[in-house]
Amino acid sequence: MTEHPLPNAALSSGQPPLPALTVTLIILALAVGSFGIGTGEFAIMGLLPDVGTTFGVTTAQAGYVISAYAFGVVVGAPVIAVIGARFRRRDLLLVLMGLFAAGNLASAIAPTFQSFILFRFLSGLPHGAYFGVAALVAASMVPVNKRTQAVGKVMLGLTVATLIGTPLAAFFGQLFDWQFMFVAVGITGMLTVALIAIFLPRDKAPKGINALTELGALKRKQVWLTLGIAATGFCGMFAVFSYISPIVTEVAGLNVNMVPVIMAIFGCGMIVGNIFGAKLADLSLMRTIGWSLVLYFFVLISLSLTAENPILLGVCCFLIGCSFVVGPALQTRLMDVAGNAQTLAAALNHSAFNVANALGALFGGLAISAGYGYGSMGFVGAAATVVGFGIYLVSMTLDKIENEETPVCPAE
């Protein structure tokens, strides 16, 4: 295969752009990987009671596997990003998705609950780095004013997973065994490896980039603030969907067969938020993030107040899904504020979201153990959203101060 210097080559160094069909196929290949990751991450949330039955633990204890995966993402994203910064992005993507496939296949045959937790941790290690590198590749192939839309298309695989992959995995997991889901996710990872190998041209290894360059991102206040918005502002989505099965069955009083339906409704919301939100973010990045947090707060409050009504529960789950608009937006924000440390910053976005995943499951479990019940998950998430919005205001204030002191183009 011929080499093509992918990172911004066609758009910033006078190189001829890749053909539109080639760009589409590359993004499709990357999106298949995000589909597999999304299915593996979210489907387990609807199968926690089954996992608990298999290993003889409570549903709340089974929720530890969600935290284990999230911790793997948090640890793996920065470590792999720093180590892999000097590698070709194509090669790095192939290795990351290969590791993801292997971890999920191992999860399907875990003999004990402890080994299952270990395999979920290992499966999470490549998650953040994959999304980060995939986002950089996608953004490098389009004009600057369409970066968020390109990132959104890669992450569309994640949102489609919540609509199709996750409900199907939950359905077949209940029909057969929950291990079936991890086999399917492992096969999807192997398919992604093949598609990337076929469609993504060999790129040149980045020059002048090393571990110290990437670690430079950690010196930037706006990087930390952006990560803080993701880590705290979106705990609510994970608090709700970590315990979606008992919310549907015990709070709304629906049959367990309705769990995949509610998760599909959530997936529809994610697709809507991803498509339209990415366009809004390319027009006004920070305003899109801010308004998303405000609307998200009120939706979470509404969920706790109306979860006993099946119709209103479905509406709230759809709107919570729409809040995914902020995923591509925060990814682009990190690209803007990270300077030369693009790989680490892009990967850390998914570490932050998985901090939110772990905190959502943790705080939700604490609320349940304290006797507040599964219906309190919206209140738990709304409280965390207030913290996220406060961090957003700090970030905006610093932006304003810096722009007044130095006449530079704003992030918008």
Whether the CA torsion 246, 230, 303, 173 is positive or negative: it is negative
Q: Which residues contact 148 (CB under 8 A, 6 or more apart)?
A: 278, 279, 281, 282, 285, 328, 329, 331, 332
Encode pLDDT of 265-285 as tens digits. 888 888 888 888 777 888 888
Listed as ranges, residues in the chain with pLDDT below 70 are 1-17, 46, 170, 174, 205-214, 405-412
Q: Which DSSP category does 251 fall into?
A: I
Cα–Cα distance, 148 to 283 (Å, whole number) = 10
Collapsing DSSP to helix, strand or coil, 409 comes out as coil
Decide: 68 and 117 in contact? Cβ < 8 Å.
Answer: yes
Other beta carbons within 10 Å of 109: 12
Decide: 229 and 395 in contact? Cβ < 8 Å.
Answer: yes
Other beta carbons within 10 Å of 238: 30
pLDDT of residue 251: 92
**What is 30-63 written as a DSSP string?**
HHHHHHHHHHHHHHGGGSHHHHHHHHT--HHHHT
- CATH H-level superfamily of 9-404: MFS general substrate transporter like domains (1.20.1250.20)
| Closest to 262 in 3D by CA, of 322, 212, 226, 314 | 314
* pTM, to two decimals: 0.75
Tell me, rounded to whole angstroms, the distance of Cα 211 from its chain centroid. Answer: 24
Q: Which residues contact 66 (CB under 8 A, 6 or more apart)?
A: 44, 45, 48, 238, 242, 357, 358, 361
Q: Which DSSP category does 169 fall into?
A: H
Decide: 138 and 31 in contact? Cβ < 8 Å.
Answer: no
Terminal Cα distance for the chain, rounded: 38
Buried b (16+ CB within 10 A) or exposed e, 197-236: eebbeebeebeebeeebbebbeebebbbbbbbbbbbbbbb
Decide: 130 and 351 in contact? Cβ < 8 Å.
Answer: no
Q: What are phi and psi of 202, to 5 degrees?
A: -65, 125
Decide: 328 and 151 in contact? Cβ < 8 Å.
Answer: yes
User: Residues 121, 33, 106, 88: what is their CA dihedral angle, to the nearest 10 degrees?
Assistant: -80
Whether the CA torsion 187, 193, 194, 199 is positive or negative: it is positive
Strands (E), 168-272: none
Other beta carbons within 10 Å of 107: 26
Cα–Cα distance, 66 to 56 (Å, whole number) = 17
For the chain, what are the domain ranges?
9-404
Decide: 100 and 181 in contact? Cβ < 8 Å.
Answer: no
In angstroms, the Cα distances linking 173 to 159, 165, 186, 258, 298 are 20, 12, 15, 14, 33
